[in-house]
Structure formats: structure tokens, C-alpha cells
Amino acid sequence: MIFRQLFDRESSTFTYLIGDAPSGEAALIDPVVGNVDRDLRLVDELGLRLVAVFDTHVHADHVTGAGSLRERTGAKTHFSARGGPACADVLLEDESIVFVGGLGVRAVATPGHTDSCMSYVVGDRVFTGDALLVRGCGRTDFQEGDSRTLWQSVQKSLFTLPDATYVCPAHDYGGYTCSTIGEEKRLNPRLGAPMTCDGFVELMGKLQLPPPAKMSESVPANKACGKRT
Amino acid sequence: MIFRQLFDRESSTFTYLIGDAPSGEAALIDPVVGNVDRDLRLVDELGLRLVAVFDTHVHADHVTGAGSLRERTGAKTHFSARGGPACADVLLEDESIVFVGGLGVRAVATPGHTDSCMSYVVGDRVFTGDALLVRGCGRTDFQEGDSRTLWQSVQKSLFTLPDATYVCPAHDYGGYTCSTIGEEKRLNPRLGAPMTCDGFVELMGKLQLPPPAKMSESVPANKACGKRT
């Protein structure tokens, strides 16, 4: 498996390139529209062919590159069937599996930050979007956010993965690039032991965060797969 | 081998944590003084003990955390013997090997960006400092910089490593996090095929870059292992 982590400085978003060397097929997870040229150049330089784009959710802080990548390469766009945009080529259910060459991409529904949140398990990695960040998690105060739902998603669908699984988050704001499930179970101050569901709900209810700077433009654009409506 | 890439947003510096799971010994490569608390917390969270700090060179754009980490943990600080600061615990020659638990860290002299530039090979990774960046390289117009020397370092000491070796640079400004030797041999516009030494010298001579913002304070501080003189 070819694996590359890419970073968008403006929104602190991680984009991931995964590639299957034998077939030359590749996918991008959470591409940002402003970085589509960079990402396609890298796909090409590595001798790969983009066949799929996966979004972990309908983002509120940046516009997805999915629609642009589909136009330019014919890659199929993938979102969750629960709250994902109708413009997606493939709407995924919990436990859907999509193949990128020989790489199985297993969709795991992890709602709570938004209804549309889907994590993707590929080999020994899980791409968690905003459901689980390094020592943190996405907020739950807009876009169908629900703390109790997020708690249950993480405990049931992510913390049951093997401890050695690498956590590849959609963002980081403190200079971390990855973690593991074992680490987050032990060390995540919001979702790890000894936190409880009620404690998490109370903590998230007190955050009082300002709205994301680009929310009013990002959400409508992402509901159109990243193309302006 | 435990491996973590960390990022300093202000200077776009990558710091690397490497750890030997059986012994619990760990090292930091190119720590930044402002991130020492974060880096030590991660070492501790992973159940590791910091025994060594390696700097790839005397930096001009940020202050090393080496001296602070030595004070707080007793870790030994490592620099190149060629141009490295006398305050370092260990001054390394080309092909010196230092063990971090069972992990061999092989020093490979790669001068040219500065005289003190040392790359470190650990397993299938090479930590290249500013000698080789993703599709680029460090500048050669100050601090003993010499384009011809850098060309020779990269061709002789880095491009002779196996193509699959992961390149872990000291910086990135475009959202990349790693590359491979094979990629840079093919695709680096400054140092890869079909560039020549003379072409590289000419290209570097024309860059006309402004001095790094923090050079006047960083270089003296780094010559004192990151402690103010």
C-alpha cells in the first residue's frame, strides 16, 4: 500500500493518498478544493491513477475537492448515505467495502460530529475524519452534532479496532500527524478512559466555540460535492 | 520502531520521534525549543525515555530544543563534528553509528546547505534535514553554503540509498510530509535527473532569497545548543 499524508495549512486539514501498487489504482481521502492540482500531480508522479475519492463527512471548514477531481479524472466520489450529498456517485452504508485495486476500504459509520461522518479502515489504518482526532474530537454543536451519538460511535466502532491501528485524523492543530487506537483509548481526554458518556456530553456542552470561519460557504458547497451551487 | 512526525507551524519544521519499543529508549530529531513540552509529553505518553537528541544542522530559522531537552532529561545531544557546536555531548563523524536501544542511527555527512549538515539513516528512513526536501533542497547562500558541495552530498550519500527509503525532511512549505529516494532521484527539479551539477549551481545562484526572519537570533542560539548565549 502506498500511503501519503498531505496538509492544507489554511484549514489544518489532512488529505490522504492511498495507492495499490500492483494495479496502479489510487484514492484520495478528504481532498481540499484548493489543493487539487498538487494532489493530482502527486498521483501522477507516483505512477498512479485516481479512481476514487472518499469524504469522511460534509465539512464545515473547507470545501472538498471531490467534485473537481471527478470532473478532471472520472474518479468516483464516495460519501455516507446518511446525510451525504445526493451528487455523490456512491453513497455508503455502515460496513460497505469499496476496492481500490486490491485495497479494501471498509466504511464504518461514526456519526456524532455530523450525521454524515464515516470513518474508513484500510489495512492497519483508520481514517477517522473529525470523529476522533489526536487527543481530541470534532465539535458537536452544529450540523446535526450530538455528543451522545459521537461517544457511542467512537466507543463502539473505533475503540474496538486493534490497539495498534494507526489513527489518521482529518485535522490537527497542535503539530501531531497521527496516533493509534491504543493511545487514544488511554490518553484522549474527551473520549478515553476514565471519561464517561455523561461526562463527555457535559464537557462538549460547555465548549462555547465560535462558528467555523467558512461554514456558511463550505457546507452548501460540500452538499454539492464541492462545486458551487 | 516507533515513529512519529511532529510539526512546528511557525517555522514549518518537522521534528521526529523515534523509539525502540523493547528497550523503551527514544530520540528526537530536530526538536524546536518552543515545542519541548509537547514533545516530552508524547515521549512520556508512549512509555518511552528520551536518551538522545540529534540535530541535522545548525539551523537558521528556529532554535533547537536540544539544550533544553538535555537539561530536563539528561538526553545526550548530537551534532556533526564539522561545524557543530562545541556544547554538544557527541560530535559525529561521517558514518558514526549511535544506538537508541536496539535502533542504529547512522550519521551520513551531507554538507552544502551548511557545513554542519548531517543526515541520519534509521531502518528504511533517512532524516535529511535541509540537504534534501520534498522536490527541493535547502538554500546555499549563507552559513558556509556551497551548491557544488550540496550537489555532491546528495548524489553520493543520499541518492545511493535504496529507492524505497523514505525521505523525512526537516521542513516542508507545500503540504507534503514525506517522499522516497526513488521519487527524488526522478522528480526533484533541483537535484534529480536530468539536472547536472553545473545546472544546479547556476539555479541556486539565481534564487536571490531574503534572509530567514529569525537568522540573527537562531544561529547564535543554536551554536549554544539552543540556550541563549
Question: Range with the lowest mean pLDDT among A58-72, A212-226, B65-79?
Answer: A212-226
Q: Summarize pLDDT for A108-126 with one digit per residue, the tens.
A: 999 999 999 999 999 999 9
Contacts of B183 (CB under 8 A, 6+ apart): A45, A46, B167
Q: In what order do the strands lie in the sheet with B179-180?
A: B97-100, B103-109, B118-122, B125-129, B166-169, B179-180
B5 part of contact set with chain A, CB < 8 Å: yes
DSSP code for B33:
G
Most B CBs within 10 Å: which of A176, A180, A184, A185, as the mutation test of the B interface? A176
What are the C-alpha distances in Å from A152 to residues A97, A107, B112, B153? 22, 17, 54, 53
pLDDT in tens, chain B (229 residues): 999 999 999 999 999 999 999 999 999 999 999 999 999 999 999 999 999 999 999 999 999 999 999 999 999 999 999 999 999 999 999 999 999 999 999 999 999 999 999 999 999 999 999 999 999 999 999 989 999 999 999 999 999 999 999 999 999 999 999 999 999 999 999 999 999 999 999 999 999 999 888 899 999 999 999 986 5
Between CA B217 and CA B34 the distance in angstroms is 14
pLDDT tops 70 at residue A228: no
Answer yes or no: do B38 and A177 touch at CB < 8 A.
no
The angle subtended at Cα B16 by Cα B11 and Cα B20, nearest 5°, is: 170
A216 part of contact set with chain B, CB < 8 Å: no
Q: Summarize pLDDT for A118-150 with one digit per residue, the tens.
A: 999 999 999 999 999 999 999 999 989 999 999
CA distance B29 to chain A (A): 15
Between CA A71 and CA A171 the distance in angstroms is 26
The complex scores an ipTM of: 0.94
The angle subtended at Cα B12 by Cα B8 and Cα B15, nearest 5°, is: 50
In sign, the C-alpha dihedral spanning B61, B118, B48, A177 is positive
Q: What is the per-residue pLDDT for A214?
A: 86
User: Comparing C-alpha atoms, which of A99, A92, A161, A89 is closest to residue A132?
Assistant: A161
SS3 content of chain B, % helix, strand, coil (to 5): 25, 30, 45
Helix (H, G, I), strand (E, B) or coil at B217: helix
Q: Which domains, from first to last, does chain A contain?
A: 2-209 (3.60.15.10)
Q: Summarize pLDDT for A80-111 with one digit per residue, the tens.
A: 999 999 999 999 999 999 999 999 999 999 99
Contacts of B202 (CB under 8 A, 6+ apart): none
Answer yes or no: do B6 and A38 touch at CB < 8 A.
no
| DSSP codes joined into one string, B64-126 | BSHHHHHHHH-PEEEEETTT--TT-SEEEPTT-EEEETTEEEEEEE--SSSTT-EEEEETTEE
Nearest to A6 among B7, B35, B176 (CB): B176
User: Comparing C-alpha atoms, which of A164, A157, A155, A153 is closest to residue A124?
Assistant: A164
pLDDT tops 90 at residue A32: yes
Q: Tell me, what amino acid is at A124? A: D
Nearest to B177 among A5, A35, A46 (CB): A5
Letter string b/e over residues A63-80, b meaning 16 or more CB atoms within 10 A of that residue's CB: bbbbbbbbeebebbbbbb
Q: What is the per-residue pLDDT for B228?
A: 61
Q: What is the per-residue pLDDT for A227?
A: 82
CA distance B8 to chain A (A): 6
CA distance B13 to chain A (A): 10
Question: Can you list the pairs that B89-93 forms with residues at least 24 positions away whose Cβ atoms lie under 8 Å?
Answer: B92/B118
Packing angle, helices A36-45 and A66-73, rounded to 10: 50
Between CA A118 and CA A158 the distance in angstroms is 11
Between CA B46 and CA B81 the distance in angstroms is 31
Three state DSSP letters for chain A: CEEEEEEECCCCEEEEEEEECCCCEEEEECCEHHHHHHHHHHHHHCCCEEEEEECCCCCCCCCECHHHHHHHHCCEEEEECCCCCCCCCEEECCCCEEEECCEEEEEEECCCCCCCCEEEEECCEEEEECCCECCECCCCCCCCCCHHHHHHHHHHHHCCCCCCCEEEECECCCCECCEEHHHHHHHCCCCCCCCCHHHHHHHHHCCCCCCCCCHHHHHHHHHCCCCCC
Q: What is the mean pLDDT of residues A19-29?
A: 98
Question: Chains A, B: CB contacts under 8 A, how many?
Answer: 49
Between CA A49 and CA A23 the distance in angstroms is 9
Q: Summarize pLDDT for A155-169 with one digit per residue, the tens.
A: 999 999 999 999 999
Contacts of A196 (CB under 8 A, 6+ apart): none
Q: C-alpha cell of A31?
A: 481532498
Nearest to B175 among A7, A186, A187 (CB): A7
Give burial (CB, 10 Å; 0-12/13-18/19+) of A215: middle
Q: What is the per-residue pLDDT for A212?
A: 86
- Taking the model in full, what pTM does it have? 0.96
Three state DSSP letters for B137-155: CCCCCCCCCCHHHHHHHHH
